Structures are given as C-alpha cells and as structure tokens.
C-alpha cells in the first residue's frame, strides 16, 4: 500500500507574471496502489455449533462457509493527473482531474456446482479498469460583500466514468450464472444482461405463456438453463455521468440554497407487470389499470394475461427481460434550504454571538425522468418521502 505524487505551482513561474487574471494554477500528478481483503472468509471451513441433533442426540454443527485458501487481496492501482485553478481575483475556482484505475483480483460471488454443498462463494473473479474525468467549478456572479449586498454563487461538479472488465477468471457458462455474476470481458462492470422476449404464446394449451428466444432464435418457454448466448447486453446500471449544481443566494441576512443532481447514461430494469401478475396468482393484490390491455387471442399484446389466459406462474425470465429495460436518466432537486441570520448588533444584546433560522426541504421530487413508465430510477418505484426540517442555531 503506497503512493507517490508531485505538484507544480505554475502561477509562480516568471512567464505567468503578465497573466494577472490567473491567481492560482497548480498541476498535480500521483500514482499509488491500495489493497483490500475480504473479511468474511478464511482458508479453513467454518461451522457454527447448534443444539443437539434431533435424531442422534449428539452435539451438531452447521457449516457456514467453505474453505477458501485461494482467496487473494483485491488490488487497485490509480494514476491521477489534476489541475487546481483560481481566476479573475478568485471569482472563478475549481479543479480538474483525469484518472485511470486498474483493479485486479476483484471480489464477487462465484457460482458453484450445488453438489459441492454450496451454491456460491466469494472469489477473485475479474480484473477491471475505470477511466474518467472529474471537474469542479465555482463562480461568483455577484461577489459577497456587506450584509445588505446581494450575492450569488454557483457551484458545479461533473464526473464521467467509463469502466470495463478486462479479464474474467472462470467466466459464467450459463445464462443464470451470468445474471448473478455479470462480468464479461469487454463489457461494463455492472452490465445489464437480458433474456430476449419472444412474445406471448397463442398455441393451444399454452395460451398466455411468455416465450423467450434461445441461442438459435427459436421461441421457448424457458431458457434460463441455456448458455449465455440467449442473453443480450442492455447497457449498464451505474450512471456514466453525474452532475451536481448548487446555487447559493444571499441578501440582508436571507439565504437560499438549491441543490440539483443529474444522473445519466445508464439503464434500469422495471417490469411492474411481472410483480403484479405474480401477486394476482397468489391472490393478494388488486388489478392494475394496465391489465385492461392484457393479452388475449383477440388482443395480442406484451402484457401478461390473467383470468382465463393467466400462466400457471410467471416465467423466471420475466424479471430479467429486455422489455423491462428502460433509460434511467433523471434530474432531481436534492434539497432546498431557506435561512435567515439575525444581525450581529441585535443578537449581541441578547448575549449570544450568532443566531440563525433554517428551514430545509429534502427530496422534494424529480424534475424530469427519461423513462415513460412513471418509475423513479433511483429507487425503482419506492419514492423517497419529502422531509421538512426547521432549525434554530444559537452560538454562545
């Protein structure tokens, strides 16, 4: 675990003296290695003692994890090139970083043959690479001055990250295994793999059953046990681009801060028909409006049928299908804070140094989402409650 770095204060060089609008300019370079060890495994099989065996009456132990002697450290090596700057009498300021991060022996679950007694275990399954850019920028539109002067500052953060799996140890051979450990060389780390929807069957005896394309492009009732060729790449679940924008306005003791966020370039999976169909079959859910367009022989849609044309149980592929994939871009207001700082001359008479009121609204809601199904991409449908906080700050 080590790192080295160097910096160059460019603004102090002689050739910069005539550029009076440059207040600060520094170039940075660093390279280092970090490691991580998985805490939940050892090189020995572990077991937990329990009560006596019901049949033998003897003490009994339950194996909790298999022996894992081949597990090694997860290692990351990072190269970073950066620039810190302040211009226009420090009115504009920020930093720019470009990085490359190579990770080796990355931890994840590896699917095991169930005859070993375990279905999965943590292993060093892949090597990955992250490359990206991070930018922070602040600008004073109106420079803060006296209490009764108006000031306005905008702060922006921008990050773009592109990751790729460089190597996979023992890659998944079946579709179900790739879905549980979605690493494949040349694709993003959190790749979204999907079964290809082939429509709803109208064949006699199978009316209403969802069908899926196999490796040869033929419709089948189930393909989860087939090779990974039945899956298609549907994007990644991690945002590629994240932008934060904060505006701070102040005047005569009043202040207003509004923080907004944009996340984009990623995909999400949301298929409410699957969960709702399953609930209906179990007998504990009301009928949703989209079942007005449910599949019938006369109305061959992609919505699962119910009643006469309901399948005995939803196909497991439905939860991981390509028709459930949607764009996950969104813009949200994270919080809004309204405050008032009482004049110093007034609060000193009360025997305190500082007195302020704050009213904050968190998670007021999304301004825009790219999908058209009414699902919050960040919570996948479970809306974060809007909260309100009122505070009184007293500094003696």
What single string gives the DSSP state of each residue in 186-237?
TS-TTEEEEEPEEEE--STT-TT-EEEE-TTS-EES--TTSBGGGEEEEEES
Q: What one-character DSSP code corresponds to residue 147?
A: T
CA distances from 98 to 131, 133, 160 (A): 8, 5, 10
Beta-bridge partner residues of 77: 33, 102
> Which among 223, 235, 305 is positioned nearest to 269, based on CA atoms?
235
> Which among 378, 268, 264 is positioned nearest to 322, based on CA atoms?
268
Residues 6 or more apart from 285 whose CB is under 8 A from it? Answer: 276, 279
> Which among 36, 165, 160, 159 is positioned nearest to 102, based on CA atoms?
165
Q: Which residue has the tokens 């009732």?
A: 221
* φ, ψ of residue 123 in degrees (nearest 5): -145, 165
Calpha distance 258→339 (Å, rounded): 12
pLDDT tens, the chain, 396 aa long: 899 999 999 999 999 999 999 999 999 999 999 998 888 778 888 888 877 888 888 888 888 788 888 888 999 999 999 999 999 999 999 999 999 999 998 888 777 777 888 877 888 888 999 999 999 999 999 987 788 889 999 999 999 999 999 998 888 888 988 998 888 999 999 999 999 988 888 777 777 778 899 999 998 888 988 999 999 999 999 999 999 999 999 999 999 999 999 999 999 988 655 544 444 444 544 555 555 667 777 777 776 665 555 554 455 677 788 988 999 999 999 999 999 999 988 888 888 888 999 999 998 877 899 988 778 888 876 677 899 999 999 888
Report the pLDDT value the prediction gives residue 254, as an integer from 0 to 100.
Answer: 95
Report the pLDDT value the prediction gives residue 277, as an integer from 0 to 100.
Answer: 47
Q: Is 303 helix (H, G, I), strand (E, B) or coil?
A: coil
Residues in the chain: 396
Report the pLDDT value the prediction gives residue 282, as an integer from 0 to 100.
Answer: 47
Report the pLDDT value the prediction gives residue 288, as an integer from 0 to 100.
Answer: 52
Calpha distance 209→182 (Å, rounded): 27
Report the pLDDT value the prediction gives residue 56, as an integer from 0 to 100.
Answer: 86
Calpha distance 178→191 (Å, rounded): 10
The enclosing H or E element of 171 equals none
* φ, ψ of residue 43 in degrees (nearest 5): -80, -5
Query: Is residue 333 a contact partner of residue 368, using CB atoms and an 8 Å limit?
Result: no
Report the pLDDT value the prediction gives residue 235, as an integer from 0 to 100.
Answer: 96
pTM of the shown model: 0.83
């Amino acid at each position: 675990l080590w790192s080295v770095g160097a910096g160059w204060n460019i603004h102090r060089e002689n050739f910069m003296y005539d550029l009076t609008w440059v207040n600060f300019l520094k170039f940075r370079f660093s390279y280092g290695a970090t490691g991580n060890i998985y805490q939940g495994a050892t090189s020995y099989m572990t077991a937990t003692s329990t009560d006596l065996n019901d049949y033998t009456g003897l003490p009994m132990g339950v194996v909790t994890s298999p022996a894992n002697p081949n597990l090694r450290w997860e290692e990351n090596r990072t190269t970073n090139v950066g620039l810190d700057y302040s211009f226009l009498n420090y009115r504009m300021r920020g930093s720019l970083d470009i990085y490359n991060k190579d990770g080796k022996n990355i931890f994840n679950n590896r699917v095991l043959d169930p005859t070993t007694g375990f279905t999965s275990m943590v292993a060093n399954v892949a090597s990955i690479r992250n490359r990206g850019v991070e930018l922070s920028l602040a600008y004073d539109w109106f420079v803060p001055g006296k209490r009764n002067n108006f000031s306005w500052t905008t702060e922006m953060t921008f990050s773009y990250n592109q990751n790729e799996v460089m190597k996979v140890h023992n890659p998944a051979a079946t579709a179900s295994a790739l879905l549980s450990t979605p690493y494949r060389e040349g694709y993003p780390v959190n790749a979204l793999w999907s079964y290809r929807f082939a429509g709803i069957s109208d064949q006699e005896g199978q009316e209403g059953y969802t069908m899926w394309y196999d490796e040869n492009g033929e419709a089948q009732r189930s393909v989860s046990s087939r090779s990974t060729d039945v899956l298609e790449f549907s994007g990644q679940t991690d945002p590629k681009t994240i932008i934060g924008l904060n505006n701070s306005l102040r005047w005569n003791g009043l202040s207003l801060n509004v923080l907004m966020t944009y996340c984009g370039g990623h995909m999400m999976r949301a298929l409410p028909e699957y969960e709702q169909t399953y609930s209906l079959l179990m007998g504990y859910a009301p009928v949703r409006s989209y079942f007005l367009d449910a599949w019938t022989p006369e109305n061959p849609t992609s919505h699962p049928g119910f009643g006469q044309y309901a399948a005995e149980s939803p196909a497991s592929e439905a939860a991981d299908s390509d028709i459930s994939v949607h764009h996950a871009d969104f813009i949200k207001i994270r919080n809004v804070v309204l405050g008032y700082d009482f004049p110093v001359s007034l609060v000193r008479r009360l025997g305190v140094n500082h007195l302020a009121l704050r009213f904050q609204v968190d998670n007021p809601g999304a301004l825009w989402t790219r999908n058209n199904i009414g699902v919050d991409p960040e919570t996948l449908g479970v809306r974060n409650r809007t909260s309100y906080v009122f505070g009184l700050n007293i500094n003696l």
